[in-house]
Each structure stands twice: as C-alpha cells, then as structure tokens.
Amino acid sequence: MSGGISSPLLVAVTIGIISGYLTLRKVRPNQLPLPPGPPSYPIIGQLLSMPRSSEGPAFIDMSIKLNSDIISYSFLGKTIVVLNSTEAAHDLLEKRSSIYSGRFCPPMIASPNLMNMKDFLVFMDTNELWKKQRRALSSRLSKHAVTAFRTSQELEARRLLVRLLVANTECVSSEFLNTEFYRTTATIFLQSVYGYELKSPQDPFFTDIITLNASITQAALPTAFLVNALPWLEYIPEWVPGTGWKRTAREWRAQKERTMSGAYNWAKQRFISGGDDSSMVSLTYNELREMGSTEAEADEFCKNIATALIGAGTETASSHGSYQWSGIDNTETFHSQR
C-alpha cells in the first residue's frame, strides 16, 4: 500500500472532517442562504461536484443547469462562490467591492512551509505592504514612464510578425500561436523589468517563468490539494504516507526562489556596477536604498514585485494577443463574441 494513505493519517483526516462538519452545523443556521449549487452530501458537502480540471467550462455548465449566473460549492467547511456573468461580477466586485472584493490565497500558496508566496501582490489583501508594492508598480507603469519601453516593444512586435509570416506558409496550431505570443510578452517584460534581452526560447530565465506560472496555477486550485480545504494538514510530517504533495510544494518553492533570484541577481550585478539605470528593478532598488531600506529589504521587495509583474503580465498579455489573433482569423466569430 505504498501509494495509499496510512491508517493513522486516514483516522486523523476523518476526525478532522467530522469535527469541522459538526462545527459548521452549529454555526451555519445563523448565516444567510448561499446561491444554488450541486447536490450536497453529509460531511463532504459538494466536494464530489468540484471540477478537478477545466474549471471554467465546468462552472458554466453547472450555471446553465441551475439556471443561475451565481452558484456556490461548499465542502469541508469551505465555500466557493462562482460568478458566471459580467453583470454579476460588476455588481458584486465593482459596485460593492468594499464588501465582496478580496484575493484568494490558499494554504498551498501562502504557507511558509509550502510555496511561501503570501507577500506576492496578486495574493495579498489590501495592507501596507500591498500599498507599497502597488505604489512602486504604478510609478513604473504610468503613461509617462512606459514610454521608455516603447522601442523594445516595437522591436519585439516586428520580430513576432516576422515569425508569424514565416509560419503562415503552412497550417499552424493554436499552441504555436500561444507559444509565440508568450515568448514575445516575456521578452518585453524581461527587457523592461530586468534589462535582460531574451534571445532563445530555451533561455533558463524564460523557461523558469513558464514553470513557475504553471505551478502557481496548479497550487491555487481549491481542489488540487487537500491542504487547501484542510489547512491543518500542512503540519503532518512529510514521512507519513500520502503526503507527497508536501514534497511537491518544497520543489515548487525551490523553483520559485530560483526564478526570483536568477534574473534579479543578473540585473543587480549589472546596475550595481553602473551598467544599467533604466530597468524597473534598477530604479526601484535605488529609490528604496535612498529612502533608508537595507540591501536585504530592497532585494526582497524588488524580487517580489518583479516576479509578480512578469508572472501576471506574461499570462495576461499573451492570452490577449492570442485572442486578438484568433479574431483576425475568425472575423465572424470574433464580432459575435464582442
């Protein structure tokens, strides 16, 4: 039974689930009713209905089935509310943002014992560190500041068009397009953030970004790891059978540190020696040092905002580019979607 869960662990998990269920039963009567959801079962709630992959299509199908653009899933003491329309999202997250807006940071992401990314901008709720990071990024991404990166953006856009024109001589897949747009946006961000010129898709700085984004996406899924539903599981020793996910988290954390430090250390060595004064990390680092931050504090701050910017920026920009290209290739479908 090397691949199964040991009896002590199974007993501990069972006791924890039952305790949480009984506690929830006592508290729940005082709460307002939740939006409609799939069938619920004792103890596990709606866990069996939570999609393990392709969450978006699964949520849309459930929304259609329940005839509601707002649905919910409750399991093991956790509740997930899904908004499946622009109107619902705007009403709750824009008009009533002070009540409903927040950032989901599951234990697999937040815990110092796991991936340890609670201080990343995209996972923090509004606090002083979040405000400081936001101010730093805003000063680098203002309408005036971004003009400094226009030359590199135009150059990479031309290079992308050349690659697409060459590939257009034969049928290309959507995967090829996604890869090319991802490469272009990553090149632009690496140049703007670190002053680094990406010359090959096999460059470790580029492949590390892809790997980190993939691991973060997986770790953030509510049902991908049981610890996201039962946070106390992180304290179970790693030698206990059935806790291989802790080894996965340790490997992902090491890879995250490698991604954060690799490009940043390259950039720092360059701007400390006087070779660069225009990259985002160079300008931010110098400002922090002038304001009294220690070298270690400035390093940690710059690593966090740089990694968050590149991670989120490459995903968003490349997806937008792929979408626009698909619209050019399928004009009628594109206009109907708009």
Of 136, 120, 305, give the one whose Cα is nearest residue 216: 120
Whether 318 and 182 have beta carbons less than 8 Å apart is answered as: yes
Q: Domains in the chain, please, with CATH? A: 103-337 (1.10.630.10)
| Residues with Cβ within 8 Å of residue 146, at least 6 apart in sequence | none
Tell me how far apart the alpha carbons of residues 23 and 196 are, in angstroms, rounded to a whole number: 53
Q: What is the pLDDT along the chain (338 residues), one digit of tens a residue?
A: 444 445 555 556 566 666 555 555 555 555 678 889 888 888 778 888 888 777 788 889 999 999 999 998 888 777 888 888 888 888 888 888 777 777 778 899 999 999 999 888 888 888 888 888 888 888 887 788 778 878 888 888 898 888 888 777 676 667 778 888 888 888 888 888 898 888 888 899 999 988 998 999 889 887 788 888 888 888 988 888 888 899 999 999 999 999 999 999 999 998 888 776 788 888 899 889 999 999 999 999 999 988 888 877 666 644 555 555 555 555 565 555 55
Tell me how far apart the alpha carbons of residues 271 and 101 are, in angstroms, rounded to a whole number: 38
Which neighbouring-strand residues pair with 83?
70
Whether 240 and 1 have beta carbons less than 8 Å apart is answered as: no
Tell me how far apart the alpha carbons of residues 118 and 20 are, in angstroms, rounded to a whole number: 25
